[in-house]
Structure 1
């Protein structure tokens, strides 16, 4: 790992400063087998360094969404819902909308869009595999349809603990189970957990995931946990050849975790006996969900740009050998460029965090930093250097 460490350390020196700071970890079923930290905690002149003893926290963004998925699978284990039953009784807003599509019929010029009733209900499996057909209002097709209907752009609907009937109007983009789209399924999964358990998502996860694993430096409510928030690595953004501080409020942070906490979670998920999930649900985090002939698998394999970075694949790759588990992306063939082996489950987060797990190999790793924009070229190069050498060294 010496080459990676030298490359990362140089990038984080004040003279170069391609990155402010970063932590890279590798764990197996027993615990942490590799931990490297370098750089500085803030852009200030008197900043403390990022070192092995720095218990820094990180805004996880999308890299932490799989934790919500674990919470949903716990609801299955508790008998509150099953993977393949309709979620509409808990999320009745979904009954209010149909499937939006372009009209290919003879009246297409007069009626360029069609909204049809859905023929099947959304299940939890659909939500966790992002095959529900639900997306945000920012979807180009939805925006085009709104314009045609003479409607003002609508704000995204964020379902809460209680249903707000007649407030949700964003149509499905395809029949549930008949496509793949990394969109708003996570919002509805979070609402499902809250409504089933009667707790705010962050409260539920603290009690049922963080506490059992002694993840004491993780929170969904940073404004209520100033000590955890005070240790966050400063967010920066690339501005030409330099990096500059980002302005944000504590409320915008969402989930924040430390590297040590993420390591504890990975160890449990790789363990033969997880504290969080029974065996079949634990395995579902790693198992591909889409059959070879399914529309969902065809759709995900066409959307390489969405996941090229965590999968270690070229952005322009066509029909990428991937699938989706109930946690995240599944790489189904060895990737030569990044060294990622078949069977790896992986995803990333907007501030250029990347994680990967492999159940059979009993190995997981994470590259943690805080820099925008997402898929920043220099940061991705550093992350891929780590991932290549980590698989080669430990995998």
Structure 2
């Protein structure tokens, strides 16, 4: 049977995958895995120092930043955030549209939005590029709604979909958490993370601004797509090969710093963050805060909404999905997997993904961190899922032998 490395190389040679970087480590220092396969662009081989559009992998960094603010006493997890985020005062819930028109119907929210809700996607904020009701709202507002290139506040200021704390919807919550961090500390998110996340871990090649860190730009993997499926939406099953694309998933340069999706950087250096949290080394957060990150946060209604509405649906072969029956909740920074997986991943693992088919994992029970990094769209790619599961299974098998 072909080895893990042979299978990945064969997949890249056959253009079933673009360039990928696979990373794993344990907290005891007994096991480290760093391998790169395939191409960085149509000409050059990819290296482990490659950088990626991290997209929603940015959310973990912003969540840690916000939790540091809680530790300093700058804000509480359950405080009313409208004292700092004045945009939340008198915020409205979108309930529908007047019959036969595109005129939205709103009602005033009763509950107040908290940081705990922003970090767990239970605030009522969605994405107006994903939720059908918000897509219609955006279209009804025309240029009044935020468009590509607009300032961050115009783009993330949208109505709620439900009373804060009563359900679950993936959305702009952690972008707002990034705005909160900036306002509380009177500095940009780039400056904040450099001082309080990246410098403590000797991280140099993660940024919101490629133009500030030339190594990030130099090592950036070119975006690719599965055939002609396009950049957005979810991948559909296809035998088409991977193609390089000049279309950008991101803006370059970013004017603003989106805490939910704006990060660009090295998987090797991102692993330092995963390792710090997994090892509970005190460099980023206190032990009690890390314990809270890994504590289920959702109520029953929100947990049911997560089960039917998240990217962790039990779809057949969808990237980042899990086998049927996997129990899930949400922690402070990512989804919590509450039952063991056949790959070896243990209950209590915190994990999340990024749109170009990236996936990070922190398994405190086993003391293992994993990252699968690519720049392939659209999200949910089935071949990437197959290979990521192979990688995950093999890392658990190899580390258990040490």
Q: Judge same fold: TM > 0.5, yes or no.
A: yes
Query: Quick check: 1:119 aligned with 2:107?
Result: no
Residue number among 111, 132, 140 corresponding to 1:140 in the alignment: 132
**Counterpart in 1 of 2:218?**
230
- Shift of residue 108, structure 1, vs aligned partner: 8.1
Residue number among 155, 166, 173 corresponding to 2:161 in the alignment: 173
Alignment of 1:3-42 (within 5 A): 3-13=3-13, 16-31=14-29, 33-42=32-41
**Counterpart in 2 of 1:251?**
253
- 1:117 to 1:361, Cα distance in 2 relative to 1, 3 A: same
**In structure 1, distance between residues paired with 2:102 and 2:2:** 62
**Counterpart in 2 of 1:84?**
78
Query: Quick check: 1:297 aligned with 2:309?
Result: no
Query: Quick check: 1:313 aligned with 2:322?
Result: yes
- Shift of residue 2, structure 1, vs aligned partner: 6.4
**In structure 2, distance between residues paired with 1:174 and 1:394:** 44
**Counterpart in 2 of 1:58?**
52
**In structure 2, distance between residues paired with 1:229 and 1:112:** 44
- Shift of residue 145, structure 1, vs aligned partner: 5.5
Q: How many residues matched?
A: 373
* Structure 1, gaps ≥5 residues long: none
- Shift of residue 57, structure 1, vs aligned partner: 1.3
Query: Quick check: 1:213 aligned with 2:194?
Result: no
* Structure 2, gaps ≥5 residues long: 228-239, 255-260
**In structure 1, distance between residues paired with 2:277 and 2:346:** 18
Deviation string, structure 1 residues 289-341 (Cα, Å, up to 9, x no partner): 124xx211121122254555565425xx5x851000001001111233x4432
User: Given the two structures, how large is their TM-score scaled by the length of structure 2?
Assistant: 0.84
Is the partner of 2:6 in helix, strand or coil?
A: helix
Deviation string, structure 1 residues 268-293 (Cα, Å, up to 9, x no partner): 111243201111112222221124xx
Query: Quick check: 1:98 aligned with 2:92?
Result: yes
CA contact (8 A) 1:102 1:113 kept: yes
**Counterpart in 1 of 2:359?**
354
**Counterpart in 2 of 1:325?**
331
- 1:373 to 1:151, Cα distance in 2 relative to 1, 3 A: closer
Deviation string, structure 1 residues 215-242 (Cα, Å, up to 9, x no partner): 1111121122222210112222222334
**In structure 1, distance between residues paired with 2:157 and 2:222:** 38
- Shift of residue 169, structure 1, vs aligned partner: 6.2
- Shift of residue 153, structure 1, vs aligned partner: 6.4
Greater C-alpha radius of gyration? 1
User: Given the two structures, how large is their TM-score scaled by the length of structure 1?
Assistant: 0.85
CA contact (8 A) 2:334 2:351 kept: yes
CA RMSD, aligned part only?
A: 2.9
**In structure 1, distance between residues paired with 2:280 and 2:142:** 52
CA contact (8 A) 1:121 1:176 kept: yes
Deviation string, structure 1 residues 236-279 (Cα, Å, up to 9, x no partner): 22223342233336326931221221221122111243201111
